[in-house]
Structures are given as structure tokens and as C-alpha cells.
Structure 1
Amino acid sequence: MTSGYQLNEDSDNEQHLATTTTVVAETTVTAATSTANIQVAGVASGSGNDVPEHIRKFVFTNQKGNADEGEASDEPIETIEIQIPEILQSGYSFYTWPCAPVLAWFLWERRKNLASKHILELGAGTALPGILAAKCGARVILSDSCILPKSLAHIRKSCLTNNLVPGKDIEVIGVSWGLLLNSVFNIGPLDLIIGADCFYDPSVFEDILVTVSFLLERNPQAKFVCTYQERSADWSIEALLKKWKLRAVPINTDEVGKSSGIDLSEFMGGHTIHLIEITKEPKN
């Protein structure tokens, strides 16, 4: 991986979050068709500190709403709706950032390969990709910082909103990136690690890659697939990849969503978002 791995743009601060969520709250973002969209479904009751909460719907389907005549497919129509509770104008982990639906659509188009796979989501936040994977039959562990109990509680709420019972249908754990605590050692065999916008701050880059390197060492056939948003041309993980004996390969996102008539730019909100696959370097 070269300097093409760049995380970008202005920092994701509270002001940016407030601006973004205000736009989301007032509009419905439709991706190509009315059957494949993101929309705010209304305002639920506020949290304990009266911060407004919204339920945001993400609909994944293999049906093109604008298919031309004669293009009918024998493939059965599949649709999954994910409802994500979001607390507006709050911390980063309570809002679904643009990287998450991009990664979720990538997984959706590989849903037939997800059944019974063991998947870990790092920095899950509102957990859209992980919840979708669980709905597609994967055995999913959602993780976020072990020192942020409210974030972990919100992940559990996201699971319950989608009829997934933590501890039964899906697991939710706390981890600390860069620290190999019991929670990391207790993670069982993995087929896939996923992450949406984990590389949001250079101060955590190495901590993330230390954790990923350890997990891939224990699961040499696994891979880490993540989306990231460009934030600065000066941000790079190339040296860290070499240090921890990892290699990264970009994944072309041009075709993601097209089989369902989806234009990913509808989800990106004007940001540049990339998808990469990270694996362990082969041992000599």
C-alpha cells in the first residue's frame, strides 16, 4: 500500500457532526430507487439527557427499482431493513458515518458467503455493517472501546432494535486498541474482521494495527476489510503496515451497489471514501 492510503478532510468534530445530522434529519437520501434508501423515520423519545434520538433506516435489496424491460432476473428478491438509533449532536459512536453504509453494501453483495462465518467488527459505533452481517447469517462480535460503557450500551440498543439479542444472536464486547487484554484473547476463531472509519485520528493508527496484527496472527486465513474517509494527504499507515508485517490492497468500489441500482456517492455526502483489505505478510 502506498501513499494512496490517505485519510482526509476536516476533522470529525462536534460542529461537523451537528451540521451533518441536521441535514439528515431534514431530508430523505434516496439511492437510485425508493427501495434502496436511507431515511430518517421520525424522532423517538429523547435520551436521559434530552438529546433527540432518531431511527435511521437502511434498506438493502438485490432488486433494481428501475430495471429495464427484458432485464428480469430469476434470482429471488432479497431485502433486509436495518434500523439504527442515532443520538444527534452527540459523540462519534452514536451516529452512522458515511463509511458504514459503504462497507455494509460491500458485505451485502457478498451475503451468500457470510453465512456461518465468524466476523468481528472493530470500533462498531452504531454497528450497521456488523448487524447486517448477522442478519445475513454470520456469527458476529461487535466491539468498541471498553472505557466507553455508553457506546457499548448503544451498540446493544442497536442490536435489540433489529431483533438481535446480545449474548444469544450476537456478541458485544469492549476492547482497547493496542492493549492485548483478556477481551482480545477471548475472541474465538475469526474468518473476517471489519471496520468502518476506524482510521479517523492518526493517534490511534498504530493501536488499531497492533490489534489487527495480533488477531490475524491467530487467524492467518482471515483478513481485515475496512472503509476509510480521506481527511489529510499527510496521514498514512504505510510505515506502520511494514512495522507490523501487514500488507494492504485497495478494493475497487466502482461496482459496489450497482447490481441493486445503487450509486454509492449518495451515501458519501461529498466525501472520498476508500475500501481496503489488510492481511498478514506471508512468512518466508
Structure 2
Amino acid sequence: MRFEMTSGRFQMSDGSSEHLKKFVFSSKPRVNSNTPEEKVEIIIPELLQAGYSFYTWPCAPVLGWFLWERRHDLVDKRILEIGSGTALPGILAAKCGAQVTLSDSCILPKSLAHIERCCRANNLIPGQDIDVLGISWGLLLNSVFSLGPIDFIIGADCFYDPSVFEDILVTISFLLDQNPGAKFIFSYQERSTDWSIEALLKKWDLRCFSINSENIGKVSGVNIHDFMGGHTIHLLEITR
């Protein structure tokens, strides 16, 4: 992956600063192949002083590259991203032809508005090309019931605080019950070896598998560790 950030910093009216980041996902044509290079560029506006959900954390491009290398399988798939933040993985999935709903906390209207801004920065019109929805982890509000069929749930760095672990899994458990055969694929940054969801998985009758991430990016000549920022990041899959 190539990563670029514009050199300018933009001052917002509330005193926060904005950076624009450009993520480029591309594939190398095979040697002696007439297949053209495939490439998607995604622009993410970040408000660096505004809060957790306004910054693209290292887990997002890791999940993004996992999705990119399966882009042909995403066409017409129905995908829900939870805890979208700046929504890099979900926007990428939409650019690859998936039907995507981006979601974040229903009590954070500024975060939801920023998700919509990230969509528009990439020529995706909310409500037309992509959907944005406020939900609440652990509480089955009307917005959760309004979701249509789902093939995949995705999330980047949702398990950032043990206080939300069970709330996330309650929501995932419900959605997997409603969508037999669906999977929850997520990237997780290891912040403490004491944190675990094992007991919660048993409580909610869920199964978790580790996804081998060592080969992600190699086909495109990318070293996945270059954008992990020195962190340990895992890719995992949860099913019923």
C-alpha cells in the first residue's frame, strides 16, 4: 500500500486541525500478463484533535488490505461496518462493488456526520451509494432491526476498551442469529495481554478464528508491517 498525506494542515472553526490522507490500494499485474493494474484511491479527512473516531487507526488499513485482496468476492455482498470512525474499510468495500452500511454510535451525531463527509470525499453519496446508520452496541434499538440481510460484518479496532467488549458481542450475536451464514471479520490491536473475549464468546455461543495475516499485501509488493506502526494487530473471524 502506498500512503500519502497532504502537506497542508487545515484549521477548523472549533480549533481542531484537519489532515487529508490518501490511501492507495493497488494490484501488480502478473509478469507477461495483459491484465491492467487495478487501483482504488481513498481520501480520508481526519480531525486530529476531535476524538477517537476522527482518526484512521492502524487496524483500518490492515483490514482494508484484507478486503482489497478479496475485492472480486465483495461485488454485491451486503456489508455492515460497525464502529466505522473514518470508515476506510467500508468505503473501500463500497468502491469494490459491495452494498455497504457504515455505522457508529447513535449518540455521537458529529461522528456520523464525519462518516458522511468521508463518503462524500470519495464520491459516495450517503443514502444513495452507501448508507450511514447510528446504532448502539448492546442495545437492540430500531436501527438494528431496520438492517436488511447481511453477508459480512466488518470492524477495525472496535475492541479498544474492555468495557465495550460484551456490548459488541451482544450486537454481533443478534446480527448473526438474524443472518445465518454471515461472518464478523475484524482487526484487533493488542493493547494488553490480559484482555480477552474468550469467556464472552462462550457466554454468547460464538466461535472465533484467527486469520493468517502474514501474506496480506505480498501479491501487491506490500509489507503489512509498514503500516502497523509497530503495534501487534490481529485479524479475526467470529461466526455462530
TM-score where L is the length of structure 1: 0.83
Residue aligning to 1:95: 55
Once the two structures are superposed, what CA deviation does each residue of 1:228-273 show, in whole Å capped at 9, x if it has no partner? 0001111000000011110000000011111100001111000000
Residue aligning to 1:50: 15
Alignment partner for residue 73 of structure 2, among 88, 110, 113?
113
Distance of 1:164 and 1:46 partners within structure 2: 25
CA contact (8 A) 1:144 1:174 kept: yes
Distance of 1:46 and 1:110 partners within structure 2: 38
Structure 2 residue 109 is the aligned partner of structure 1 residue 149: yes
Distance of 1:254 and 1:145 partners within structure 2: 32
Distance of 2:167 and 2:127 partners within structure 1: 27
Once the two structures are superposed, what CA deviation does each residue of 1:164-209 show, in whole Å capped at 9, x if it has no partner? 0000000000000000000000000000000000000000000000
CA contact (8 A) 1:121 1:130 kept: yes
Residue aligning to 1:122: 82
Gapped runs of 5+ residues in structure 2? none
Q: Percent identity?
A: 66
Q: Give the secondary structure class of the aligned counterpart of 2:7.
A: strand
TM-score where L is the length of structure 2: 0.97
Once the two structures are superposed, what CA deviation does each residue of 1:204-236 show, in whole Å capped at 9, x if it has no partner? 000000000000000011100000000111100
Deviation of the 1:47 alpha carbon: 2.2
Q: How many positions carry a matched residue from both structures?
A: 240
CA contact (8 A) 1:43 1:52 kept: no
Distance of 1:274 and 1:81 partners within structure 2: 24
Distance of 1:277 and 1:110 partners within structure 2: 15
Structure 2 residue 33 is the aligned partner of structure 1 residue 73: yes
Question: Looking at both structures, which has the greater relative contact order when contacts are Cα pairs under 8 Å and sequence separation is at least 6?
Answer: 1
Once the two structures are superposed, what CA deviation does each residue of 1:84-117 show, in whole Å capped at 9, x if it has no partner? 0001132010000000000000000000000110
CA contact (8 A) 1:93 1:125 kept: yes
Residue aligning to 1:163: 123
Residue aligning to 2:2: 37
Q: Give the secondary structure class of the aligned counterpart of 1:85.
A: strand
4+ runs deviating over 2 angstroms:
42-48, 71-76
Distance of 1:267 and 1:72 partners within structure 2: 30
Deviation of the 1:62 alpha carbon: 0.3
Alignment partner for residue 178 of structure 1, among 134, 138, 159?
138
Residue aligning to 2:150: 190
- Aligned Cα RMSD in Å? 1.2
